[in-house]
Structure 1
Amino acid sequence: ANTTNYTPANGTLTFADGETEKTFSIELRNNTNINGNKTFNLDLSNPVGTTTPDVSSVVTIIDDEVGTFGSGSIKFYRSTFTASERSGIATVEISRVGGTSGTVSTDYKTDGGTAVVNADYEAVSGTITFGP
Structure 2
Amino acid sequence: MLSDVAASVGLSSRTGHNIPQLVGDTSNPVVIYDWKDYLSTLFHPIKNVTKFHQFHVSVDHPGVVEFREFSDSPVVRITLRKVSKVNVNVSCDDLPNVMFAKGLDLYLQWYLFENSAKSVS
TM over 0.5: no
Which protein, 1 or 2, shows the higher relative CO under an 8 Å CA cutoff with sep ≥ 6? 2
Q: TM-score, normalised by structure 1?
A: 0.19
Q: TM-score, normalised by structure 2?
A: 0.20
Bigger strand share? 1
